[in-house]
Chain A
Amino acid sequence: MVAVTPETGPDTALGTDGTDGTGMTATADLGAQLAAAFDAAVAADERVEPRDWMPEQYRATLVRQMAQHAHSEIIGMQPEANWITRAPSLRRKAILMAKVQDEAGHGLYLYSAAETLGTSRDELLDKLHSGKQKYSSIFNYPTLTWADVGAIGWLVDGAAITNQVPICRCSYGPYARAMVRICKEESFHQRQGFELLMALSKGTEEQHAMAQDAVNRWWWPSLMMFGPPDDESAHSAQSMAWRIKRHSNDELRQRFVDIAVPQAESLGLTLPDPDLKWNEERGHHDFGAIDWAEFWDVLKGNGPCNEQRIGQRRRAHEEGAWVRDAAAAYAQKQAAQQAAKHAGANEEARV
């Protein structure tokens, strides 16, 4: 038996490993050791949990990514909620309400995952409202017809799932766990979108045209959802090393195109890209050039709905402040009453 005593803990390592006896070197060494241990653990596909030591940059990257992801979920409620009151059948209405509700739920899962890193939801919401943190640019496009609800489900959620499935294996435990839950629920979203478009495509001429028009408008923005090409992506390399990201933007984009092409065929709809064709040699579909100027422009705030989306979000938050305050005030009063009652009871007990 080997006696394991507390002396082998990291606290004593700090004392014994310092070579010149000054705290400085010891601390620097410890930092290096921790970083090396962290890198090794991540490389071995171990999960990082909230209270583990982690590089500041890793923490910052995760908070940024999880926040952006959460913001996208809640801003993403708007373009679809736009059609809840006009859904053309009660069945579709129920489906759409459940879907938009899921998005609020997904936002909640992700905010709570982000909160494990010592930030608060209010802080993150403030950053969203002030424009300091972004959300997915796709939601700055308008939903002009009912078919857009289908196109969002099929293409936007399809692209999101392609992006998100690998995050279920993200190195950060809480994020990975939230994504497992989300991905399970998302597959309903994509299916309902596909089914909605199928009904339109097989419906009347007007319905078919509506579906085609929606796909024409949502196809390119969906491809942009995977982010800039690999050689221009600012955060990609480090995120891959840290296993926050598992595949490059271009890889995922290609995967999505390859999945979407046959699905479009079975929908009886075309994709608006004359250069889209199967490349036998690569074993993938080639596709046309993406208009990155548009992408950057929308990202900068010049999309058709940027102001509208953030405006509605801010308004909902501001107009809800009195409700949140009321509930907080009520809770305080109740707690105070409880405390007084306890004190009273103790008093009586003594008497």
Chain B
Amino acid sequence: MTGTDTGAATVTAAALALGDDALILSHRLGEWAGHAPVLEEEVALANIALDLLGQARILLSMVGDEDELAFLREERSFRNLQLVEQPNGDFAHTIARQLYFSVHQHELYAELARGEGPFAPLAAKAVKETAYHRDHAEQWTLRLGDGTEESRARMQAALQALWKFTGELFQPVEGLGGVDWAALEERWLAALTDVVERAGLTLPEGPRTGAWAAGAGRQGLHTESFGRMLAEMQHLHRSHPGASW
């Protein structure tokens, strides 16, 4: 059985973890607005960002007031993966981040949707969205990997740069006790290997579970750029305590 830990505290922990992932990645994707490589991709990236923001709002609302949670928590209280907070970099970095995360999110939500836990209804809806995000990332991985010399080099570098953040994807999340994380990781690796090979790229080697990456984000340990991102995201809301918008 999947996701059957229904104790209030553990549900909260899981909702925060999943909600923060969606919230923070959505924010990063929102930074692309007006900067995308082609107009069609402005629309595509915004669609993904909006899907994720919608998921984040549902998940955070399971915990409390969505805006208080998004705008009034300090950096150390955020429970998102370090992967999703990584800066956009070039388009290849954004696609690599999308690929690593959306394959994971799709597999995880598919599993949650099959269960009967508190996240099943959300997961059932979100799994369709994440299927599209995953497809988008895979399509672009193929094109960048098997496109030009330059795009291949950029995509390979991006896969490499973000690789060390992928170990955290499979650290068990409190409140999602029913998930078989080892099997999830296996499916993820198989999917990644397949698409990366079809794209003529190689799966990076090297550690995925370093001291700062093994579940650190889930425990509120983030990377430097995250604080800056939050400062920007939260400043207006915090400048007007108690105001409604």
Bound CA–CA A308/B40 (angstroms): 23
**B37 located at the interface, meaning its Cβ lies under 8 Å from any Cβ of chain A in the complex:** yes
Which of A146, A316, A321, A326: most chain B CB closer than 10 A?
A326
- Neighbour of B39 across the interface among A74, A98, A319, A328, CB < 8 A: A74
Contact status B50-A98, CB under 8 Å: yes
Q: A85-B30, A199-B244 are known contacts. Are A90 and B70 too (CB-CB below 8 A)?
A: yes
Q: A88-B245, A206-B240 are known contacts. Are A323 and B38 too (CB-CB below 8 A)?
A: yes
Q: A86-B236, A108-B43, A207-B243 are known contacts. Are A322 and B30 too (CB-CB below 8 A)?
A: no
A-B contact count (CB 8 A): 141
Q: A97-B30, A203-B244, A323-B38 are known contacts. Are A85 and B232 too (CB-CB below 8 A)?
A: yes
Closest CB in chain A relative to B199 CB, distance in Å: 9
Which of A23-31, A99-107, A222-230 faces chain B? A99-107
Which of B51-59, B103-111, B204-212 faces chain A? B51-59
Contact status B43-A204, CB under 8 Å: no
- Neighbour of B34 across the interface among A81, A92, A203, A319, CB < 8 A: A81
**A171 located at the interface, meaning its Cβ lies under 8 Å from any Cβ of chain B in the complex:** no
- Neighbour of A319 across the interface among B37, B144, B245, CB < 8 A: B37
Q: A81-B34, A85-B233, A100-B34 are known contacts. Are A90 and B148 too (CB-CB below 8 A)?
A: no
Subset of 23 A-B contacts with CB under 8 Å: A74-B39, A84-B30, A85-B31, A89-B245, A94-B53, A97-B30, A97-B46, A100-B34, A104-B43, A107-B39, A146-B236, A146-B245, A206-B240, A207-B240, A312-B35, A316-B37, A319-B35, A319-B37, A320-B37, A320-B91, A323-B91, A326-B148, A329-B151
Residues of A within 8 A of B237 (CB): 88-89
Residues of A within 8 A of B233 (CB): 85-86
Bound CA–CA A86/B241 (angstroms): 15
Contact status A86-B43, CB under 8 Å: no
Residues of A within 8 A of B146 (CB): 330, 333
**B113 located at the interface, meaning its Cβ lies under 8 Å from any Cβ of chain A in the complex:** no
Bound CA–CA A146/B35 (angstroms): 21
Chain A interface: which size bin?
A: 35 or more
**B2 located at the interface, meaning its Cβ lies under 8 Å from any Cβ of chain A in the complex:** no
Residues of A within 8 A of B144 (CB): 323, 326
Residues of B within 8 A of A199 (CB): 244-245
Contact status A325-B147, CB under 8 Å: yes
Bound CA–CA A326/B90 (angstroms): 14
| A199-B244, A325-B147 given; 12 more Cβ-contact pairs under 8 Å | A87-B236, A88-B245, A89-B71, A90-B53, A90-B60, A97-B33, A97-B50, A104-B46, A204-B242, A207-B240, A323-B41, A324-B37
A199-230 interface (Cβ within 8 A of B)? 199-200, 203-204, 206-207
Bound CA–CA A44/B160 (angstroms): 64
Closest CB in chain B relative to A175 CB, distance in Å: 18
**A143 located at the interface, meaning its Cβ lies under 8 Å from any Cβ of chain B in the complex:** no
**B224 located at the interface, meaning its Cβ lies under 8 Å from any Cβ of chain A in the complex:** no
Which of B53, B60, B142, B147: most chain A CB closer than 10 A?
B147
Closest CB in chain B relative to A231 CB, distance in Å: 37
Bound CA–CA A85/B27 (angstroms): 7
Chain B interface: which size bin?
A: 35 or more
Bound CA–CA A200/B243 (angstroms): 9
**A93 located at the interface, meaning its Cβ lies under 8 Å from any Cβ of chain B in the complex:** yes
**A78 located at the interface, meaning its Cβ lies under 8 Å from any Cβ of chain B in the complex:** yes
* B-to-A contact residues, CB < 8 Å: 23, 27, 30-31, 33-43, 46-47, 49-50, 53-54, 56-57, 60, 66-67, 70-71, 90-91, 142-144, 146-148, 150-151, 154, 229, 232-233, 235-237, 240, 242-245
Contact status A101-B47, CB under 8 Å: yes
Contact status B35-A327, CB under 8 Å: no
Residue of A nearest to B146 (CB): A330
Residues of B within 8 A of A84 (CB): 30-31, 33
Closest CB in chain A relative to B237 CB, distance in Å: 4
Residues of A within 8 A of B31 (CB): 84-85
Closest CB in chain B relative to A183 CB, distance in Å: 19
Which of B27, B33, B144, B154: most chain A CB closer than 10 A?
B33
**A77 located at the interface, meaning its Cβ lies under 8 Å from any Cβ of chain B in the complex:** yes
Bound CA–CA A330/B141 (angstroms): 11
Residue of A nearest to B229 (CB): A85
Contact status A322-B57, CB under 8 Å: no
Bound CA–CA A88/B66 (angstroms): 12
When each residue 57-85 of chain A gets 1 if its CB lies under 8 Å from chain B and 0 otherwise, what string results? Answer: 00000000000000000100110010011
Bound CA–CA A86/B118 (angstroms): 31
Residues of B within 8 A of A87 (CB): 236
Q: 7 closest pairs, A vs B, by CB?
A: A320-B37, A326-B147, A326-B151, A101-B46, A81-B33, A323-B37, A104-B42
Residues of B within 8 A of A204 (CB): 240, 242-243
Residue of A nearest to B144 (CB): A326
